[in-house]
Structure 1
Amino acid sequence: MTEANALKRTRWPLVAWSLAAAVVLIVAVANAHLVYVAVASQPDCVAHLKQAGSREGAFRAAKPAC
């Protein structure tokens, strides 16, 4: 085995672990961003029924906040 082949074989685990760490880091950052957006955003109020009704296709909020 030549010295170049031995060097390539010894670097392969480092490359594989570095790639795996980068993938895990990207997934963690993406999930943190999704959690941040879910917590920080407040959707606007939408038009909905205020009183209970029985009209077809009409829904109302269980606990309206606005």
Structure 2
Amino acid sequence: MSALLTSLRTRPALWLLVGAGLLLVVLANAHLVYVAVTSQPDCVTHLRAGERAADPGQFRAAKSSCSPR
């Protein structure tokens, strides 16, 4: 009888932990999607179209999303 009572108490606690873990994963993913959609990273300095590289190894963006100077 004691094993039955322990089993009856353990099962709801286990399901509660599983539910809490799933809720945590869903909320974390929702936060990542929110941040990805609402954030806009700052522009990185790069060569603009028509500018010549002063040093070798400088690159220009294929299509810059930053506003021109």
TM-score, structure 1 normalization:
0.77
Q: Which runs of 5+ in 1 are unaligned?
A: none
**C-alpha deviations, 1:1-40, integer Å up to 9, x for none?**
24xx432211211111110010010011011101100110
Q: Give 2:31's aligned residue.
A: 33
Q: Return 5+ residue gaps in structure 2 as ranges.
A: none
Paired residue for 2:59?
Answer: 59
Q: Secondary structure at the match of 1:9?
A: helix
Matches of 1:59 and 1:18 in 2, distance apart?
54
AA aligned opposite 2:42: D
Code of the aligned partner of 1:41:
S
% of aligned pairs identical? 52
Aligned to 1:6: 4
Structure-2-length-normalised TM-score = 0.74
Aligned counterpart, 2:13:
15
More displaced stretch, 27-36 vs 44-53: 44-53
For the aligned residue pairs, the C-alpha RMSD in angstroms reads 2.0
Post-superposition, which runs of at least 4 consecutive aligned residues in structure 1 deviate over 4 A?
A: 52-55
